[in-house]
Amino acid sequence: MTQLYERKKGDSFEVSKHLIAIEKLSDAILIRQYNRMLRIGFRNFHFQKLYILALRIEFLRRFDKSPILFEENHIIKLTVEIELA
């Protein structure tokens, strides 16, 4: 699942706001949030793209890898569902 991202003024601030909430989530809830986004798909809403980018950052912080790819600074890809152990 792929979506184009167009950077807008204030995006970094909005991603930071999402991160404040996301970093408080347990690992299981973080994974569920990602899986939920994968199931519902992109609706081409800018705020949704910012939330997904924040999820990506948190996955990288916690696990040193992410199922969310961000290519060429404008392509967001959701890859595979993550199974909860």
Cα 16 to Cα 44, 72, 84, distances in angstroms? 20, 21, 26
What is the model's pLDDT at position 31?
Answer: 96
What is the model's pLDDT at position 84?
Answer: 80
| Long-range residue pairs from 62-66, CB within 8 A, at least 24 positions apart, any chain | 62/27, 62/30
Sheet harboring 68-71: ordered strands across? 2-4, 75-78, 68-71
pTM comes to 0.91
Residue entry with tokens 């790819």: 69
What is the model's pLDDT at position 78?
Answer: 94
User: Could you tell me the mean pLDDT of each successive run of 10 residues in the chain, 85 residues long?
Assistant: 91 97 96 92 87 96 96 92 85
